[in-house]
Amino acid sequence: MHMERTDVHQGTLDLMILKTLQSMGALHGYGIARRIEQVSSDALSVNQGTLYPALLRLEQRRWIRSNWGTSGTGRRAKFYSLTRLGEKKVAEEEENWSRIVSTMERFLSPVEED
């Protein structure tokens, strides 16, 4: 697989996209990028362009679907939305993350044995 030049792991980017679409409904690429920036309070330095390969991958797996439509400003854009399969995957990925996070937490803040 081609290595991405991004600070963000490919799996996390995927999850961010999915969650965004879950909460925002259908959104075009620029919209997704802006939303991610907002939610992470600009803490992530993601090249916006790296979104598109990720979107392609998700679309190939049929987790999201795309349609051409008009944006709020009257511009023609491609809109993405979650599929039913995608909904399922979001829940799975969320669970995965929670597990990873809680495990890491246990490592990073050791229980004091007293």
Partner 1 sequence: MDWLREIFSRCTALFHRRRLDEELHEELESHIESAVEENLARGMTPAQARMAALRLFGGVTQVKESYRTRRDIPLFTSLSRDVLYAIRRLRSSPGFALVVITTLALGIGANTAVFTLVEGFLLRSLPVADPASLYRIGDRNTCCYHGNFESADGDFDLFSYDLYRRFRQAAPEFEQLAAVQAGGGGYTAQYGSAAPRPLRTEFVSGNYFNTLGVGAFVGRPFGDGDDHPGAPPVLVLSYAAWENEFGRDPSIVGATVYVQRHPFTVAGVAPPSFFGDRIASIPADIWMPLSSEIELEGANAAVTQPMTAWLYALGRLRPGVQKGALEAKLSAQLRDWMREWPRFTEHGGTELIPHQHVKLSRAGGGIQKLQQQSGANLRLLMLLASVVLLLACANIASLLLARATTQRINVAVRIALGAARFRIMRQILVESLLLSGAGGLAALGVSWFGARTILALAYPEAHNMPLHAELSWPVLGFALFISVLTGVIFSVTPAWAASHAQPSESLRGVNVASRDRASVPQRTLVILQLAMSLVLISSTFLLTRSLMNLEHKDFGFEAANRYTFEMDLEGAGYTVDRTAGLYRQIEDRLGALPGVKHVSFARYIPLGGNQWGTCVHVLGESDPGREDKCFSDWIRVSAQFLDSIGVPVVRGRGFTAQDGPSAPLVAVVNQAFVKKFFPFGDPIGKHFGREGAKYASQYQIVGVFSDFILTDPRSEARPLFLVPNTQRFTGYTDAEDDAAESSSMFLGSVILEVASNGTDLETPVRKAMVEIDPKLPIFRFVSYDSVMASNFNQERLIARLTLAFGVLSLILASVGLYGVTSYFVARRTSEIGIRMAVGASRSLIVRLVILGAMAQLAVGLALGIPASLLMDRLMARFLFHVSSYDLAMLGAAAMVLAIGAVIAAILPAVRAASLDPVRALRTD
The residue ranges that bind partner 1 (CB under 8 A) are 2, 4-5, 28-30, 33-34, 47-50, 52-53, 56-57, 59-62, 71, 73, 75-78
CA-CA distance, 47 to 44, in Å (whole number)? 9
Is the CB of 22 or the CB of 83 nearer to partner 1? 83
CA atoms within 13 A on the CB side of 27: 20
Is the CB of 1 or the CB of 108 nearer to partner 1? 1
Q: How many other C-beta atoms can be found within 10 angstroms of the C-beta atom of residue 21?
A: 26
Is the CB of 59 or the CB of 87 nearer to partner 1? 59
3-state secondary structure of 14: helix
Least spacing, CB of residue 66 vs partner 1, in Å: 9
Least spacing, CB of residue 106 vs partner 1, in Å: 30
Is the CB of 45 or the CB of 102 nearer to partner 1? 45
Least spacing, CB of residue 57 vs partner 1, in Å: 6
Exposure string (b/e) for 66-104, b if CB count within 10 Å is 16 or more?
beeeeeeeeeebebbebbeebeebbeebeeeeeeeeeee
Least spacing, CB of residue 53 vs partner 1, in Å: 5
- Beta bridge partner(s), residue 112: none
